[in-house]
Amino acid sequence: MKNKKTTEEVALGIRRRVFEHSMRNNGGYLSQACSAAEQLAWLYNEALNLGEPTMPMIPPPFGGVPAPGNDDYVTGAGYNGPFEPQYDRLFIAPAHYALVAYATLIEVGRMAEEGLEMFNKDGSSVEMIGAEHSPGMEVHNGTLGIGLSTGAGLAYGRRLRGDSGEVCVFMSDGEVQEGQTWEAIQACAHHGIDNVWAIMDVNDQQCDGAMSSVMEVRDIATKMRAFGATVVEIDAHDLNAMREAKAEPHEGQPLIILAHSSPTKGMEFLQRRFPRLHYVRFKSEEERDEMNQSIAKELGIDPVQFDTH
Tens digit of pLDDT for each residue in 7-32?
999 999 999 999 999 999 988 999 99
Confidence of residue 145 (pLDDT cuts 50, 70, 90): confident
168 phi, psi to nearest 5 deg:
-115, 140
261 in a structural domain: yes
Rounded to the nearest 10 degrees, the angle between the axes of helix 30-42 and helix 7-24 is: 150
> So what's the pLDDT on residue 142?
63
68 in a structural domain: no
211 in a structural domain: yes
pTM reported for the whole predicted model? 0.95
Question: Is 141 a residue whose pLDDT tops 90?
Answer: no
305 in a structural domain: no
Question: Is 309 a residue whose pLDDT tops 60?
Answer: no
Confidence of residue 216 (pLDDT cuts 50, 70, 90): confident
Amino acid at 92: I
User: How many separate domains does the chain show?
Assistant: 1
51 in a structural domain: yes
Q: What is the mean pLDDT of residues 189-209?
A: 90
How far is 96 from 285, CA to CA, in rounded Å? 25
CATH number, domain containing residue 154: 3.40.50.970
Q: Does residue 149 contact residue 180 with C-beta atoms inside 8 Å? A: yes
14 in a structural domain: yes
> How many residues in the chain?
309
Residue 61: half-sphere exposure toward Cβ, Cα within 13 Å: 4
- As a dihedral over the C-alpha atoms of residue 7, residue 112, residue 138, residue 266, rounded to 10 degrees, the angle is 40
293 in a structural domain: yes
R_g of the chain computed on alpha carbons:
19
How far is 22 from 304, CA to CA, in rounded Å? 10
> So what's the pLDDT on residue 212?
77
Give one word for 234, left, alpha or beta, with left for phi > 0 and alpha for psi -120 to 50. beta
Amino acid at 127: E
Q: What is the mean pLDDT of residues 151-164?
A: 97
> So what's the pLDDT on residue 276?
78
- Cis before 275 (ω within 30): yes
Residue 95's SS3 state is: helix
147 in a structural domain: yes
Confidence of residue 124 (pLDDT cuts 50, 70, 90): very high
Q: Does residue 166 contact residue 152 with C-beta atoms inside 8 Å? A: no
> So what's the pLDDT on residue 297?
97
Question: Is 208 a residue whose pLDDT tops 80?
Answer: no
How far is 59 from 105, CA to CA, in rounded Å? 11
What is the DSSP-derived secondary structure letter of residue 125?
S
| Chain CA centroid to CA 163, Å | 24
Does the CA dihedral 24-30-32-38 come out positive or negative? positive
Instruction: Tell me which residue of 202, 219, 174 sits closest to 263, measured CA to CA.
Output: 202
Question: Is 271 a residue whose pLDDT tops 50?
Answer: yes
Residues forming beta bridges with residue 90, ordered by sequence position: 168
Instruction: Tell me which residue of 190, 194, 200, 144 sits closest to 170, measured CA to CA.
Output: 200
**Domain range holding 208?**
7-56+75-299
> So what's the pLDDT on residue 66?
86
